[in-house]
A and B are shown apart, each in its own frame.
Chain A
Amino acid sequence: QVQLKESGPGLVQPSETLSLTCTVSGFSLTSNSVHWVRQPPGKGLEWMGIIRSGGSTDYNSALKSRLSISRDTSKSQVFLKMNSLQTEDTAIYYCTRGRYNSGYYFDYWGQGVMVTVSS
């Protein structure tokens, strides 16, 4: 069955770089897109970016200068890197599978990983 699982450090120092991994199973990264979505504690959902089946990427313009998404198809893994972290980047980070029906929706989600930015 389709599964996604995020992993990474729970605590990051301000100004440092966040690195997260999304390991997927039950589907191929070369046939599906993967998106990253985050949610600050007690707040709503923010779409961060996409890596498409062909490997191209797009980012939320609010994060574009700090964000990079890549993948290793042989390991079924998608990577998120975001630099210059600040306290407002404290959030649960989710990876999701994107489905395309003229536009994207997210049919499977990982459980999320809580990232706290603090010294």
Chain B
Amino acid sequence: AIVLNQSPSSIVASQGEKVTITCRASSSISSNYLHWYQQKPGAFPKLVIYSTSYRASGIPSRFSGSGSGTSYSFTISRVEAEDVATYYCQQGSSNPFTFGSGTKLEIK
């Protein structure tokens, strides 16, 4: 199974700050196969970025993604209060379609 190591496990940021989350895969995957989700407290996960860098429908431009091979990143350019959530990366390359362990974003 492809293991996704996500870091950091938690972030505390101020509104307006830039935050970056890293997802490292245990083996190389195509950029088509790496995706990011946002899960707000008490809610189901929501697709934010698919295929490394494409924003899902309705997602603000402050969210972006990049990467290749085994190293991927997810960035919020200017954090807003509504971005408080846990963020997960996911690989769709091979069964099982694994998720990272999550990064919890809190606002100062």
Contacts and interface: CB of A to CB of B under 8 A. Distances in A.
B32 A103 contact: yes
Contacts of B93: 103
Interface stretch (A8-16, A74-82, A104-112): A104-112
B53 to A, nearest CB: 12
B45 A45 contact: yes
Contacts of B35: 105-106
B22 interface: no
Given A44-B101, A45-B99, A109 B44 contact: yes
A61 interface: yes
Interface residues of B, number: 28
Contacts of B37: 45, 106
Contacts of A58: 95
Interface stretch (B13-21, B60-68, B71-79, B84-92): B84-92
A interface secondary structure, majority: strand
A35 B99 CA distance: 14
B46 A47 contact: no
Contact of B97 (A47, A62, A101, A111): A47
Contacts of A60: 95-96
A105 B99 contact: no
A44 B102 contact: yes
A105 B50 contact: yes
B3 interface: no
A98 to B, nearest CB: 8
A103 B97 CA distance: 9
Interface in B26-68: 29-30, 32-33, 35, 37, 44-47, 50-51, 56
Q: Which 7 pairs, one residue from A and one from B, show the smallest C-beta to C-beta distance?
A: A103-B92, A103-B33, A104-B92, A102-B32, A105-B35, A60-B96, A45-B99
Given A44-B88, A46-B99, A61-B95, 6 more contacts: A35-B97, A44-B101, A45-B90, A103-B29, A103-B93, A105-B90
17 contacts: A44-B101, A45-B45, A45-B88, A47-B96, A58-B95, A60-B95, A61-B1, A94-B45, A102-B32, A102-B92, A103-B33, A103-B97, A104-B97, A105-B47, A106-B90, A109-B44, A111-B44
